[in-house]
Amino acid sequence: MRSPDYLESLNPQQLEAVTHYGTPLLILAGAGSGKTRVITTRIAYLCDVAGFDPRSILAVTFTNKASREMAERAASLSPGTRGVMIRTFHSFGAWLLRRNAHLAGLKSGFTIYDDDDSLTLLHSTQDSRKKQDLKRYVRMISRAKDYALGPEDDLTTISSDPELPRLYRLYQERLDRMGNVDFGDLIMKPVRLLGEVEELRRRFHQRFKAVMVDEYQDSNVAQFKLLKALSGPDTDICVVGDEDQSIYRFRGAEVQNILNFSREFKGTRVIRLEENYRSTGTILAVASSVIANNQERLGKTLWTRNPEGVRARIVYLRDHDEEAEYCARLLGDRRYSDTAILYRTNAQSLAFESVFLRRGIPYRIVGSLRFYEREEVKDVLAFLAFISNSLDEVAFRRIVNKPARGIGNTTLQRILDQAEGDDLLSACEAILPSLGGRSAAGLAGFVDLFRRLQQMLESAPLAEVIELLIRDSGLYEYHQKQDEVAATQKTSNLEEMVNAAADYGRGPEALVSFLEDIELDRSRMTAEEESGEYVTLITMHNTKGLEFPRVIITGMEEELFPGNNGFREVDYEEERRIFYVSLTRAREELILTSCRSRFIWGRRNLQSPSCFLREIPQERVEVEGDEKPAASAALTYSPGDGVYHDAYGTGVVVKSWLNGERELIIVRFETGRSATFYPEFENHLERVYIDEF
């Protein structure tokens, strides 16, 4: 049989990765090494040449965008791939649970809770406590589920807080009683089902003969356990990833999953993809030199046929204001869409925003409030969730009196007591005869609306159902008034909800699919346009999977990057991986900036250059500016000098000295208060002549 044409464009390592099957395979795919091409070509090869039934292949990744791209590219290579299941981890978990809901104690139309919903649910079990105080417990519960730990397990690895097991148990009991799930359950419940129900496990082993996982370095412990549970004795397992790009530990990602893969899956073949198609030789040399300092890695050395390109630049600047001005000057060439400005924390964007607005430089901030996280949109989603599952207490609490219908806390509690974990809409109908006045009229209208929507859902297009919901619920009028007051675009977002549902057809299945797609990938639709001429302002974490001709990495200073949040010891290996990912986003030009001072928490801090800058080979960079300010020839203040400070008033210098290369003074003010200043950085201090006080 003649080899498919799509194999001809592969390099030797890519070809080996595509054509290997029969034993576990770990593909270590360096940045820019054509990973997506390898995955999609391997899917086509398994179908066309290796004889796998497309329905027996499962490919798993981490975002809906990536899964859609994978499916499209595989189909473009071979029409025989159209039956392959390509999903995110969470989408696959939801698919498994909906088809085996009875085994998990769920209804097939269950709602998937996000963090806000989870917080509301936990708060409903702890009415006397503030929501703000419970946020950390929601995070702990989420982290526990990342490790596939239930409330009955030892949770001390998550937290030693003695309240965690009790609150976790109350939360999970309430969630299970309503028949809903949170994101963690979408992985943990399938893991437990496959472990406990032998017939289900055997059925899945027979169904899926090949399982592939993309971005495996981002998987958590629960996802690893799901992969193990899906792996039968004859399952062809392949994972693709790069341990050097494991940067999501704060989300539960466990780098040990990829480091230990060969030990967990005996007979693993390891193939390294090291040829980079994205960056210049200089950029790769800088990135490789930095990441080589990490100990926890399997190791690879990127190389390229691309030109060496220009040297990287390290630019030392006075402060964050000068840093923003420097970037604005660079953008005088109007290469807006070519340029990304990276920073470690969101707070760093403010200086760039201020300067760019003043200079008329177009920009967008990646990671701003997502469309599906906006108040008015979540209101509609809560209505839809309650139509899908009238046991959903969290959705019910959000919508029963929004807009106001005269249904106060007393009436709400009566409804909840009447329901006792059962159908809340029926509970509303049951207490209606005992109500009077506005609350009776309001609740009757609420029930009537939902009964009409439920009936309409059976036959009408989903978009029409949502349009009626928005109008007849009063939400459109409610948010229209807010638009008039605050000049927002809430009603436009409500209209966009109708547009978003247009492709989902009709019937209850359409509603379930619509809600599931939204909950599993909330970042799919944002309020901002995805194309246009603008500079990209983005955190280092959010750059994963992106690339730009010119990358400016800002804030290269100790305690900012590598970061120190004051709560735990700096993980230099994780921070170095974040730096490596940032470096490898650049295709042609790489610039790194470091400031000598920066406002942090309202105070000007003196900064030291990041230790990572010392790991860059000096022959690959050009340096601009001075790493440190020149030493003072002499002290400019002496004891007895009078000064005036905008915030403190009049005072006198009581001590002055050189702290390293910078002058430091102590001033005693008329109020009796003393303060210490670096005059070089203190804009509110001036010398005055005063009588001794």
Which positions are catalytic?
35-36, 214-215, 245, 585
CB contact at 8 A, 516 and 554: no
pLDDT tens digits, 395-438: 999 999 999 999 988 899 999 989 887 789 999 999 999 998 88
- Number of domains making up the chain: 5
> Which of left, alpha, beta for 688 (phi over 0: left; psi -120 to 50: alpha)?
beta
Per-residue confidence (pLDDT) for residue 55, from 0 to 100: 97
Relative to beta strand 57-61, strand 210-213 is parallel
> Which residues on neighbouring strands pair with residue 649, listed in sequence order?
645
What is the residue range of 44's domain?
5-96+188-273
Mean pLDDT (whole number) for 648-674: 80
On whether 31 is known to bind a ligand per the annotation, the reply is: yes
Buried b (16+ CB within 10 A) or exposed e, 437-468: eebbebbeebeebbeebeebbeebbbbbbbbb
Q: Tell me the H-state helices in 458-487.
A: 462-472, 475-486
Q: In the prediction, which pLDDT does 632 show?
A: 39
d(CA 129, CA 488): 32
- Residue 283's nearest CA partner among 547, 556, 593, 11 is 547
The reply to whether 547 and 610 lie within a common domain is yes
Residue 520: the pLDDT is 75
Answer yes or no: is 30 a known binding residue. yes
pTM of the model: 0.77
Query: Domain holding 313: CATH number?
Result: 3.40.50.300
- In order, the DSSP letters of 405-423 are -S--HHHHHHHHHHHTTS-
Q: Is 398 found in the same domain as 408?
A: yes
Burial class (CB in 10 A: 0-12, 13-18, 19+), 679: buried
Do 133 and 88 belong to one domain? no
Q: What is the mean pLDDT of the segment spanning 433-447?
A: 91
* 213 pLDDT tier (thresholds 50, 70, 90): very high
Q: Is 515 helix (H, G, I), strand (E, B) or coil?
A: helix
- Within-domain flag for 648: yes
How far out from the chain centre does Cα 160 lie?
26
Residue 668: inside a domain, yes or no? yes
Same domain flag for 543 and 464: no
Same domain, 71 and 139: no
Kindly state the tokens that stand for 505.
Answer: 């057809």
Q: Quickly tell me which residue has 């809560």 as its tokens.
A: 382
If we measure between CA atoms, which residue out of 46, 61, 535, 540 comes closest to residue 335?
Answer: 535
Q: What is the per-residue pLDDT for 165? A: 97
pLDDT at 528: 38
How many C-beta atoms lie closer than 10 Å to residue 117's C-beta? Answer: 25
Based on the domain organization, do 681 and 604 belong to the same domain? Answer: no
In tens, the pLDDT along 92-104 reads: 999 999 999 999 9
CA distance 219 to 211: 15
In a domain, 30, yes or no: yes
Q: Is 111 annotated as a binding residue?
A: no
Tokens standing for 502?
């247009």
Closest listed residue to residue 313, CA positions, set 547, 89, 588: 588
| Residues 498 and 393 both lie in one domain | yes
One-letter amino acid of 655: K
